[in-house]
């Protein structure tokens, strides 16, 4: 047995991860259900490092040094269970199975508990950065036991993206913590993209500008606070011209956004844990709405379509939209980190939130300059109740709040939908407001359902005899 680590599942992701490992000097065992993929990897890239290819799973396991570390990179869901089931009897106590696919954290918790009974470490590991990231350096979010990280840490840190000499990989926490954090990362990615799309829509409507000009605006924004991979590629996509028609590419793409489900998982989890992640939820629903083609068509026919905004000062409007985008983005991240906080508390993971910001700085889709500020905020106060109250972000949002209000008001008056901009502003206002009208909701609940209420001036629960003498009684 000579291999340091093995990869089973050699489609695009597994293949690139295996090559990345080999390029960093690790001896990599290879296996895939259909042998053709294994053979082609060795034939095309065998010279990039040391590979030990096997055609059967037993031979593959036998080629690994003990304790064995096996990366499973197959289709998420049932295939992952099938592979784990086949692997388990071939492994020994102390071996490590790493699922780098996009698993739901609840599945990871289940698998971890099952393998733990066999003395096998199961590591649910989030990997972000797509195909290219897997090859050139992804952001890696491993969960599982601390003991498993002693072996995996040095290997994963060597292949992860590096930013300022720091690898974008850290042990996130036990069992499902890694896949949970990866899920929230994807949810934040949904919000980020929706906010960018709303900014684009407003600028286009407000300025009457064409995509090449809008591309320049985003390119300029990419040299400031908003600097990020997504803003950078927004400029590229807007500047792109369709080959066949010569039209701006964005004008020939059907306006129906698709999704693979991680945004939905994030929102479902947030509902379960009672965390208001309004930005991510609006972004997820906005994709759903865009896909309801028949309903949209009926609405266009039945409802009048006046929309459009009047902009007097173009430079001011562009700056307002930029500030509104930044403030809304702060809210979306604040909400995402609240969800990590809640998940960590619910499942006892003790996730270091500042470290999550650190490992998202490179490799992944939401990589951004702004993540340094998040890390600094949690370094200064590890118990920060909300990112929004960290001095840097509080100042940044305060500085932009008038712009934000103008943009949301202008959009509403002009009939341009900005669900993420608007709901983020509403969240910011609600968080600061005293009293909230929740007091009236409690009154209504007590009236129709005797659900009781608490008072502002003394402890305890109370109920009013609404149908009788309307006297208050302790509940």
* Of residues 372, 352, 363, 354, the one with CA closest to residue 128: 363
CA distance 183 to 190: 11
The residue number whose beta carbon is nearest to ligand NDP equals: 101
Q: Which of 112, 151, 189, 198 is catalytic?
A: 189
149 and 120 Cβ atoms separated by less than 8 Å: no
Q: Which residue number, 37 or 39, has a Cβ lying nearer to ligand NDP?
A: 37
Name the minimum Å distance from CB 32 to ligand NDP. 5
What is the number of other CB atoms lying within 10 angstroms of the CB of residue 114? Answer: 15
Q: Which residue number, 217 or 368, has a Cβ lying nearer to ligand NDP?
A: 368
Q: Which residue number, 141 or 416, has a Cβ lying nearer to ligand NDP?
A: 141
158 and 24 Cβ atoms separated by less than 8 Å: yes
* Tokens representing residue 308 in the block: 């459009």
Would residue 247 show up in a list of annotated catalytic residues for this protein?
Answer: no
The residues, any chain, with a CB within 8 Å of residue 311's CB and separated by 6 or more, are 206, 207, 317, 410
* Of residues 302, 204, 293, 316, the one with CA closest to residue 250: 204
Angle 108-268-116 (CA atoms, 0-180°, nearest 5)?
15
Name the minimum Å distance from CB 473 to ligand NDP. 56
CA distance 127 to 160: 9
Q: Which residue number, 75 or 433, has a Cβ lying nearer to ligand NDP?
A: 75
Please provide residue 142's backbone torsions phi and psi, each rounded to the nearest 5 degrees. Answer: -85, 135
Name the minimum Å distance from CB 285 to ligand NDP. 23
Name the minimum Å distance from CB 109 to ligand NDP. 17
State the burial class of residue 388 (Cβ atoms within 10 Å of its Cβ: 0-12, 13-18, 19+): buried
Name the minimum Å distance from CB 175 to ligand NDP. 18
Q: Which residue number, 76 or 431, has a Cβ lying nearer to ligand NDP?
A: 76
Residue in the structure block whose two tokens are 């803003």:
231
| Interface with ligand NDP (CB under 6 A) | 9-14, 32-34, 37, 73-76, 79, 82-83, 101-102, 127-130
Alpha-carbon distances, residue 37 vs 21, 58, 298 (angstroms): 17, 18, 47
Q: Which of 182, 198, 282, 329 is catalytic?
A: 182
Name the minimum Å distance from CB 111 to ligand NDP. 13
* Tokens representing residue 431 in the block: 């968080």
Q: Which residue number, 6 or 101, has a Cβ lying nearer to ligand NDP?
A: 101
Would residue 294 show up in a list of annotated catalytic residues for this protein?
Answer: no
Known catalytic residues are 182, 189
């Amino acid at each position: 047995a000579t291999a340091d680590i093995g990869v089973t599942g050699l489609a695009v992701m597994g293949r690139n991860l295996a090559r990345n490992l080999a390029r960093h000097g690790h001896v990599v065992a290879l296996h895939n259900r259909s042998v053709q993929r294994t053979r082609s990897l060795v034939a095309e890239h065998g010279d990039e490092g040391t590979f030990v290819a096997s055609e059967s799973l037993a031979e593959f396991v036998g080629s690994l040094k003990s304790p064995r570390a096996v990366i499973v990179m197959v289709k998420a869901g049932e295939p992952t269970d099938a592979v784990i089931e086949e692997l388990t009897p071939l492994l020994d106590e102390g071996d490590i199975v790493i699922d780098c696919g996009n698993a739901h954290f609840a599945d990871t918790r289940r698998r971890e508990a099952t393998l733990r009974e066999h003395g096998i470490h199961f590591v649910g590991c989030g990997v972000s950065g797509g195909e290219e990231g897997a090859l050139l350096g992804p952001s890696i979010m491993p969960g599982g036991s601390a003991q498993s990280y002693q072996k995996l840490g040095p290997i994963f840190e060597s292949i992860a993206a590096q930013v300022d000499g720091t690898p974008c990989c850290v042990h996130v926490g036990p069992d499902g913590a890694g896949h949970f954090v990866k899920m929230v990362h994807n949810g934040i990615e949904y919000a980020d993209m929706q906010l960018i799309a709303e900014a684009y829509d407003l600028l286009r409507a407000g300025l009457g500008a064409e995509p090449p000009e809008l591309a320049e605006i985003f390119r300029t924004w990419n040299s400031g606070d908003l600097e990020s991979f997504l803003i950078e590629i927004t400029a590229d996509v807007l500047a792109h011209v369709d080959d066949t028609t010569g039209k701006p590419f964005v004008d020939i793409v059907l306006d129906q956004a698709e999704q693979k489900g991680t945004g939905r998982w994030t929102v479902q989890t947030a509902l379960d844990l009672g965390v208001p992640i309004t930005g991510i939820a609006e972004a997820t629903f906005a994709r759903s709405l865009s896909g309801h083609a028949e309903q949209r068509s009926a609405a266009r026919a039945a409802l009048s379509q006046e929309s459009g905004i009047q902009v007097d000062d173009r430079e001011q409007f562009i700056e307002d939209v930029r500030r509104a985008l930044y403030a809304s983005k702060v809210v979306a991240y604040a909400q995402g980190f609240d969800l990590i906080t809640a998940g960590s508390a619910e499942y006892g993971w003790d996730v270091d939130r500042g470290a999550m910001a650190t490992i998202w700085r490179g490799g992944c889709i939401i990589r951004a300059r702004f993540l340094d500020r998040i890390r600094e905020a949690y370094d200064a106060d590890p118990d920060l109740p909300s990112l929004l109250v960290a001095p840097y972000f509080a100042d940044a949002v305060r500085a932009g709040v008038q712009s934000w209000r103008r943009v949301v008001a202008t959009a509403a008056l002009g009939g341009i939908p900005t669900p993420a901009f608007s709901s983020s502003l509403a969240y910011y206002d609600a968080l600061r407001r005293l009293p909230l009208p929740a007091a009236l909701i409690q009154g209504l609940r007590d009236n129709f359902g005797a659900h009781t209420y608490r008072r502002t001036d003394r402890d305890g629960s109370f109920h009013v005899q609404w149908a009788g003498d309307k006297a208050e009684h302790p509940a």
